[in-house]
A and B are shown apart, each in its own frame.
Chain A
Amino acid sequence: MASEAGDRMAVLQGTLDLIVLRTLKTMGPQHAYAIATRIQLFSEDLLHLNQGTLYPALVRLEQQGRIKGTWGMTESNREAKFYAITKSGEKALAEETLRWRRMSGLVDKLLSEGA
């Protein structure tokens, strides 16, 4: 259902941006399919998402100027849009990583205290 997809997006949105930026930073320019595959591999299917949900994130990041997409050919000689992280994207990644670490540290602390 559309509304469910919307709910999941809302939860994922902040983290998804971070994951995409991180992936592009480590792996260099990638197309959406490669990014999706990589996320799935990496998350060991814990983070199950329809590959299509990546698009809004990519479009948003591109609009924010954090990544830049250019059309190119894959190794299998297919047409695809390759996304690369930009300067401002790297800066955002650094800030977001810091924020995320602080946040997860805080949550960790809270959870372990509670137990």
Chain B
Amino acid sequence: MRRFFARFANLFRNSSADSEMNREIEAHLTLLQDEFERQGLSPEDARRAARRAYGGVEQTKELHRETRSFIWIEQLFKDVRYSARDLRRSPGFTITAVAAIALGIGANIAIFSVVNSVLLTPLPVPDPDRFVLLMTTTEEGDSPMASPTKFMHWREQTGVLQDVAAMRTGAMNYTGGEILEQWQSAQVSESAFSAFGIPVIRGRSFTPEEDLPNATRVAVISTNLWKRRFASDPLILGKTILLSSDPYTIIGVADDSANLVNQMGSNQAPRLDVYVPLQIDPNTRDQDDTFFAVARLKPGVTLQQAQERLRASVNEYRTKFPNALRPKASFTAKPVLDVVLADIRSLLLVLAGAVGLVLLIACTNVASLLLVRAAGRNHEIGIRVAVGATRGRVIRQLLAESVLLAISGGAVGLALGYSGIRALLGSVNADDLPPVSDISMDWHLAGFALALSLLTGIAFGLLPALKASRVDLNSVLKDSGGRWGTGLRQNKTRAALVISEISLATVLLVGSALLIRTFVALYRVDRGFQTANVITMQTSFSGPKYTKSTAVAAAVRDGLERVRSLPGVVAASATCCVPLEINLDATFDVIGRPTGDKPNTGTSGWTPVSAGYFDVFQIPLKRGRVFTDRDGAAAPPVAVINESMAKEYWKNADPLNDRIMIGTGMSEAAQDHQPSQIIGIVADVRQSALNKDPGPRMYVPQAQLPDSISIDIARLTPMAWVVRTRGNTDGLVKAVEEQLRQSTGMPVFNVQSMDEVVRLSTGQQQFNALVMTVFGCAALLLAAIGIYGLMAYTVEQRTQEIGIRLALGAEATQLRNMVVRQGMSLALAGVVIGLGAAWGVSRLMESLLFSVKPRDPIVFVAVPLVLGTVALVSVWLPARRALRVDPAVALRHE
């Protein structure tokens, strides 16, 4: 302890302690010298003999200093000061190294923040691990859609579940104010507030009584709406508002931060404005799947136990509702987090891998730079060792330098990453990213960056430091600086580093090239519909006036007539489901054809449309006819199918001779369908996504939908108007909106051009391609710096040799070619190794690709060409210098 304080105190009086030491050593030497003089030596000889007997004075001092105080703290300051001074003296090296690290760390931070927000930060609900989505499993996959009977059944599973909640998002028209407004609404069961953990900051949420059918209408509004529409009125509770013509009493204000509810409904809905009770009848027999159901696992119950119980409970459900489920269907529960992340997980892993590679390349580059620097400093280090620096001390000094570099690089990288996040998020629609909490920088991230830079510093500082400290004093001190002979081993290390850089860059470039090709392919793919000059907008037909299909159809027909009369409008139609936004499926049975062992003839896409739909999207009619306004409720039911459906289900027959029954075995509402005559065959359209094959699809007239189906669809999504104009749509948007508003008396919203819809649907792929391209370019740049640095150094080192060769009559171009050959053989080795690695790992990206194979030949040819060109340029520049060597100067070159 005492020694501790003595050391500690010594930190602060180093200079006085140093002079004390000098005084003591001096005294000792004097005594020794006296002794030697007594033995008859001259004063000078005695002095020399004394020094010899004493041993290395400076070494003793150094040893002494180390025992004296917390030498490492003192030395640390010294090392850092020294390093900073040193780095300032070689700005070229410093800037390159800092830039390389900053690039690596910046990319890491940008991606880490996305990964952090998406994977590491849980959903904005309490206890997300125990928050499950209740699903129906069938042979065709798991469905998250739930019916009132399922909900009531699940709510009884109190042994394993609690807070079973139902939720359905949609839109309601606020008709109470001066301006018509469309509100994003959620119909939720009373338990939803506790299940989702939605805080009610004013008033209260629903009571179980208010959640029963025909109870008084109550609503909870969002904080945002409260501020926007009601100017934060403190007396808001108890007020009555008109929603879709019904009066509702506001009983609470809910916090907006829990916007998960919103995101589970549709992927493009803005924040929720209002919550109203779903009001499911406890004795319901309604088996239509129209909402989502979530629950919390009961304390002490594992996910597995809950899943087993749900599976077992299917039999009870079947007893109660004999035909509600398909033969092999069952129930299960999945953590909501897993469901939300399922699509994006592989993307995040690929991104994390890519970013790791970039960091690795950056570190390799800096390690390589440090090697050169250390080689140039052999002499200096030799001197330092000779005057008494221990090996540890030398290593520490070199490490201090690399850590200093790493931290400055980290700081710049932090700034780079921060702006990178902005740029990344700015480049894509936020809706394309998963609905978790907001993506932003946080302190975890700063910690991550710091740890990363320190680790990098130590990792890439250690190798050169170890190497440099193992100097052979004699050769170093005698050697004037090692132009000859030395460096071979170091250059081998550097060559290996450059090869690995290039191979890593190759892997990244292959990845980015595959994603770019995917993105291009998405735009090139035959969509089946024409987007130019088409606009879409929406109206929500909800409320008591629109419970019948005929009423909706009449309103739609009125609106369309007005729009069509506008000059410049070529065609207009309405549908529930704009391509690339919503896709619905339905079962169908060909009348008079046995289904065999299957329950139905098949399942296909299903799109209700009104007349003019095929004209708006210019979908070619192949046979028969399309719908007209005469295909109304009173007319015989008809359907149009696409070519895929005709090909798949009418191999040897004419579909136009057949009638189909739609929706058999689906929901109760679907049983109201009448058989429809197939009247036409149209070309295929990619409805659900550009990267999904069209598949079979049937179209039906909106006016002929059973009323119950109309209501179900209106709950799911507002009606979309689609309008084709002659030339640019811009001038007509306002006029179309106005006509629709006047004719329906309801708000029109969500105006988008079809081109925008396409762009939004490819947002994810665009994001992938963009990010990977940024990484690929960063990697390419770093690899180019690496190979350039090595070749420039080699030429520099061999100036004397080149000079001699030139003096002996070698051709300058020959020498240049020799340098180029050497550089390019490194590049080639790197590319070959990289291609091999990419061949192996590109399969991991398969789920992110479209119409491009992981081992796409074009990519595997183009990437080496690009890399080869870049490498050639980076080798050519230093090689040219060999041409300019003046033998007279080179021979004197030190």
Contact = CB atoms under 8 A, between A and B. Distances in A.
Contact of B54 (A52, A60, A78): A52
B334 interface: no
B21 to A, nearest CB: 7
Tell me if A's interface is mostly helix, strand, loop or mixed: helix
A64 B59 contact: no
Interface string A5-37: 110010000000000000000000001110010
Interface residues of A, number: 27
B28 interface: yes
A84 B326 CA distance: 99
A5 B24 contact: no
A55 B24 contact: yes
A50 B55 contact: yes
Nearest to A64: B3
Contacts, number: 92
Given A64-B3, A78-B34, A51 B28 contact: yes
A33 B35 CA distance: 10
A49 B25 CA distance: 16
Contact of B6 (A3, A52, A63): A63
B64 interface: yes
A108 interface: no
A74 B31 contact: yes
A35 B158 CA distance: 88
Interface string A31-61: 1110010000000000000111101100110
A56 B31 contact: no
Given A31-B27, A59-B67, A76-B34, A5 B6 contact: no
A68 interface: no
B32 interface: yes
Contacts of B67: 56, 59-60, 63
Residue picked from B28, B55, B62, B64, most chain A C-beta under 10 Å: B28
B31 A80 contact: yes
B57 A52 contact: yes
Given A31-B28, A59-B67, A79-B23, 13 more contacts: A2-B390, A5-B56, A31-B31, A32-B24, A50-B55, A51-B54, A52-B25, A52-B59, A56-B64, A56-B66, A59-B64, A78-B31, A81-B24
The bracket for how many chain B residues form the interface is: 20 to 34
Contacts of A65: 2
Given A2-B390, A78-B34, A53 B60 contact: yes
Given A32-B28, A51-B32, A52-B56, A6 B63 contact: yes
Contacts of A78: 27, 30-31, 34
B388 interface: yes
B391 A3 contact: yes
Contacts of A32: 24, 27-28
A33 B32 CA distance: 7
Contacts of B7: 63
Interface string B1-36: 011001100000000000001011101101110100
A34 to B, nearest CB: 8
A1 interface: yes
* Residue among B57, B67, B385, B473 facing the most chain A CB atoms (10 A cut-off): B67
B389 interface: yes
A80 B24 CA distance: 7
Interface-central residue, A1, A51, A53, A78, by most chain B CB under 10 Å: A51
A3 B390 contact: yes
Nearest to B385: A2
Nearest to A81: B24
Contacts of A79: 23, 27, 30
B53 interface: yes
25 contacts: A2-B391, A3-B390, A5-B55, A5-B63, A6-B63, A6-B390, A9-B63, A31-B27, A31-B28, A52-B54, A52-B56, A52-B59, A52-B60, A53-B55, A53-B63, A55-B24, A55-B60, A55-B64, A56-B64, A64-B2, A65-B2, A74-B31, A78-B31, A79-B27, A80-B31
